[in-house]
């Protein structure tokens, strides 16, 4: 397959390494690329403002436990803000989704027969999650 040979050229030097470390490094590279795309295709000031508003509304909701009608209204506002925040995140997700699915196919082909402590997909997912959290904090992405 054409894409397999392309990914073998890009990541081929890692395939000969220890499979666990190769997957972790590939995960870091892909997570870094996805994080940069997310930062470039979202308005970070607007995302920060929305996140701050969500936090303030959540605090307001916690303080309104005695008044159910007020809590429902606050929940409604919270849902609206949350939906707005999610909609702003869709564009970078659409840009990265198909390429990541294709690369995951290559990873499966490359690592499915190799014994790893958790299996290749879990190693990728766990390391990706950790790298994503760290990179978002370092790059101040909201």
Tens-place pLDDT, residues 47-85: 999 999 999 999 999 988 888 899 999 999 999 999 999
The model's pTM is 0.82
120, 112 Cβ separation under 8 angstroms: yes
Q: Tokens representing 24?
A: 């972790």
Distance of CA 34 to the CA centre of its chain: 7
Distance separating alpha carbons of residues 39 and 12, to the nearest angstrom: 28
100, 34 Cβ separation under 8 angstroms: yes
Instruction: End-to-end CA distance of the chain: give it in Å, rounded.
Output: 38
Q: Tokens representing 100?
A: 């990541």
Q: Tokens representing 81?
A: 């803000």
Q: What confidence tens digit (pLDDT) does each residue in 11-33 have? A: 888 888 899 999 999 999 999 99
pLDDT of residue 64: 86
């Amino acid at each position: 397959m054409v894409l397999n040979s392309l990914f073998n050229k890009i990541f081929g030097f890692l395939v000969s390494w220890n499979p666990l470390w190769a997957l972790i490094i590939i995960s870091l590279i892909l997570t870094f690329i996805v994080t940069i795309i997310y930062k470039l295709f979202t308005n970070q000031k607007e995302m920060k403002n929305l996140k701050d508003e969500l936090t303030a509304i959540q605090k307001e909701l916690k303080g309104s436990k005695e008044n159910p009608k007020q809590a429902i209204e606050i929940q409604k506002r919270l849902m609206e803000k949350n939906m707005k925040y999610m909609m702003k995140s869709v564009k970078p997700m659409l840009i990265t989704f198909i390429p990541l699915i294709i690369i995951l196919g290559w990873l499966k082909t490359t690592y499915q027969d190799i014994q790893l402590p958790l299996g290749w997909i879990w190693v990728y997912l766990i390391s990706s999650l950790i790298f994503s959290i760290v990179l978002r904090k370092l790059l101040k992405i909201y």
